[in-house]
Structure 1
């Protein structure tokens, strides 16, 4: 990975693009800057205003589908960060990622689902994309989404 390439260029090399920031589904903003950090709201796997999938991981949604959902959530989180700072080259470090997985009680692969987001942050930001993370199983998420991702980044 070239040091001169931008996060957007790195994603484009993977046939991915940072979308427009997702419209909030309730009373909140997609991201807030506080000092040198940007905190995103939880991002759902929305593309073009629609959820990629609905349902529980381990029942209606398989592991690979959930990983793709986590990747879309990560792209949406990157979009939320960009909406606050304008230029993604200003991201110094992805600090913390929290991935919520709506899953059946017997599903224990939340870390593997979360890898869909974590790997994307590494691909987009290189060494600065290495982060702390929590992967949490929950009974239900907004709109019956299978995955939700929130992000904290340090910026210039």
Structure 2
């Protein structure tokens, strides 16, 4: 089954590629890899939430926003090579704007990892970092980067 067929089976439509908020491109291919820029949880061109996780944004909400940011990352990959060219997900880096004392970054970034597992199965298993930060662009609660191997 192709990845695009798997997305359809899951009822997932990739969004339009998020417009960059600064001087960069959403994704770049080099050799057999596509690297995405950090993706925020934009929905229809609007940031889905702002605030720090563990303060203004609950961990459960942030996990959903990490999933949304990952869908934006997949859209960026699709725009460069087509989603069906993905061989495997290699690395996920997730940043979580964290309120004081919040240490649940790995659970938040599971929103990204679980989506990639749903879509790509074993090819979605990846290395990962989940990092707490003081601030993210535009006040976003999460940001996700992907590295994928392509054919």
TM over 0.5: yes
Which residue is 2:58 aligned to?
62
Which residue is 1:72 aligned to?
68
- Note the residue ranges of structure 1 that are not aligned, 5 or more in a row: none
Native 8 Å contact 2:89 2:125 kept in 1: yes
- TM-score by length of structure 1 reads 0.93
- Deviation for aligned residue 1:89: 1.6
- TM-score by length of structure 2 reads 0.96
- Deviation for aligned residue 1:17: 1.4
* CA deviations over 1:45-91 (Å, ceiling 9, x no partner): 00100011100000010011001100000000000001100x21210
Which residue is 2:149 aligned to?
154
Which residue is 1:139 aligned to?
134
- Deviation for aligned residue 1:12: 3.3
SS of residue in 1 equivalent to 2:148: strand
Runs of 4+ aligned structure 1 residues displaced above 2 Å come to 6-16
- Note the residue ranges of structure 2 that are not aligned, 5 or more in a row: none
Which residue is 1:45 aligned to?
41
Which residue is 1:115 aligned to?
110
- Count, aligned residues: 151
